[in-house]
Structure formats: C-alpha cells, structure tokens
Structure 1
Amino acid sequence: MYTSKTEIVVRYAETDQMGIVHHSNYPIWYEAARTDFIKSIGMSYSDIEKSGFMLPLLELKSCYKGAAKYEDELIVTTKIKQISFTRITFYYEVYNKNSNILINYGETMHAWTNKELRPLNMKKHAPDIYDLMAKLM
C-alpha cells in the first residue's frame, strides 16, 4: 500500500489560547497531505479538475491522541483506505516528527463527480485515473 509523507511546521496562528494546535487545523493539514499524495503519484488535483472531475467531501473523521504546539515539526502520512467506482476514502496519521508519537489520525471520504457535482462512475469515465489510484491500495 502506497503512503506519502507531508511535512508541516506548526505556525503560531494555528495554536489556541492554551498554546496547542486548534482542532480545526487538522482537516486543513489533511487537505495539504491529500494534495501531496495525488501529486506524488504523477498528477495534480488541478489536472483532475481540468479533466472535468471533482472530489467533493462527503465525510470527515478526526481522532485526537495528543497535542501539537507552536513550531512542532509534524509528518502527515496519507494513503488510500478504500476506493470504489464512485467514492474514495483517504486515511491520515499525524506524527510529531521528533518523537514519532502519533497525535492524530483521521479520514476523509470523497465522491467522484462531474463539474456539476453529479456522481459518476470513474471506472467508466476515467479508467486511467481510477486504475492508478486503485493499484495503490
């Protein structure tokens, strides 16, 4: 199973009054990591969109196991958890780079749609994109 790694350095603006990363930043990091994942397999999100396909979010899960603080160096790992002709689910783990401690994990489920956000079968409409992602499982 292919896994990509994205490095994040916690910015001051991402912390709350307690000095830890606010929970709302993790989905933003998931998006950055998902974008890196797609780029690392030889295409970009914008290439997918230019081809007429979108990946709107259907579901987001996030579990907090620890805390990150200002200037912590983090690694977000990303892999495909599940793929079907109409949906794809990405799985993420966020680690403190220095201690290698897992501080968060989560997943996002997306629908394959056209530009009008109508669901479609990617195996039928873009078998090259579907097959590339399916073989990474």
Structure 2
Amino acid sequence: MQGILIGGKRFVHETEIRVRFCETDANKHVSQVSYVIYFEQARTEFIDSLIGEDFDWWSERYSLVLARQSISYLAPAYFRQVLKVYTGIASIGRSSLNLYHLVIEKEHGTLIANQDSTIVLIDQETQRSHAWPDSFRERVIALLNDDVS
C-alpha cells in the first residue's frame, strides 16, 4: 500500500481482520477489548513491514511498549464481518512512534472505530528507551514525506 487519504488523514498500511465469534460480547457485537487486539495486530504488521534485516525488534534485547492509546468506538461490528484496519504515521521521535488507526467494515465501508497511539522502543537490559535504528527511522520518514498515490 503506497498510501491513501481517508477523512483528511494519510494511511500507509492496511491489515484485514475477519471477526471471530470469541471476539463478540453478550450484545452480539465486537467487544471493546477486541479492538485493542486489532490495533496491536495492525501496529506489529506495520512495523514488521518496515523492519530490515539489521534490526530485530522482537529479540531479547528490545521490546515495544504501548505508552498511550485513545480509542473512539463509532459503530458496532459483528461476527464474520471483515474489517480493514488502516495505519498512519503522525510522527516519529528518537525512541517513540505516534500512529493513528481507522477500522472500516469492508463490505459497506462503515466507519467502526479509530485510535491514536504512541509506542516506545525499550532496551530490555537498561529498561530505558532506545533510539530507533537509522534504517527504520529513514523508512518511516520516507513514508511521512511521500505524496499520496
């Protein structure tokens, strides 16, 4: 995905999720807890898509910490629906990455939820933030500077 505009925001990655029965609640719609998992899946797939062989964020040395998230629930989603989770980049800091996400029901295009989040790269040994590798930072900055196709 090279980038699309939705609601004035630029999204550079897309994750597709089919709602499983276990992700619904007593009201027969997707539980709010499931959205946290959907956003995490989208974030990790997005980061994996940018990682080069020179940086293994899933090693014993590093961890990604979700430092902040804000979710707005706009419409219900249901069992068996296919959802598209779009990911965009707000900014990158020395060790942080600010992202935004949008969940849209695939068949009808219904806006389901959105989220803003901040993740931080942590050095497991020191338990302090760790600077993003230059290769990762360059890929993110290139996405921030690209024109929407």
Q: Give yes or no for the alignment of 1:4 onto 2:43.
A: no
Equivalenced residues, count: 133
Of 113, 119, 133 in structure 2, the residue corresponding to residue 110 of structure 1 is: 119
- 8 Å contact 1:19–1:69 — kept in the other structure? yes
Listed one character per residue, the Cα deviations across residues 51-104 of structure 1 (whole Å, up to 9, x for unaligned) are 833221101110011000111111000122211112111211000000111110
Deviates more, 1:72-81 or 1:31-40: 31-40
Q: How does 1:44-59 map to 2 (within 5 A)?
A: 47-50=56-59, 52-59=61-68
More displaced stretch, 98-107 vs 112-121: 112-121
- Give the number of the structure whose residues are more often helix, by fraction: 1
Normalised TM-score (structure 2) = 0.80
Task: Show the counterpart of 2:134.
Answer: 127
Gaps of 5+ in 2: 1-9, 145-149
Identity %: 27
Note the alpha carbon deviations across 1:8-48, whole angstroms, 9 max, x for none: 1111111111100000011100111112212333549x822
Where does 1:1-137 land on structure 2 (aligned, <5 Å)?
3-43=12-52, 47-50=56-59, 52-116=61-125, 117-122=127-132, 126-137=133-144
Normalised TM-score (structure 1)? 0.86
Is 2:29–2:79's contact at 8 Å kept on the other side of the alignment? yes
CA shift in 2, pair 1:17/1:2, >3 Å = closer
Q: CA RMSD in A?
A: 2.0
Return the structure number with greater strand share: 2
C-alpha contact (below 8 Å) 1:2/1:136 kept by paired residues: no
Change (3 A) 1:42 1:95: same
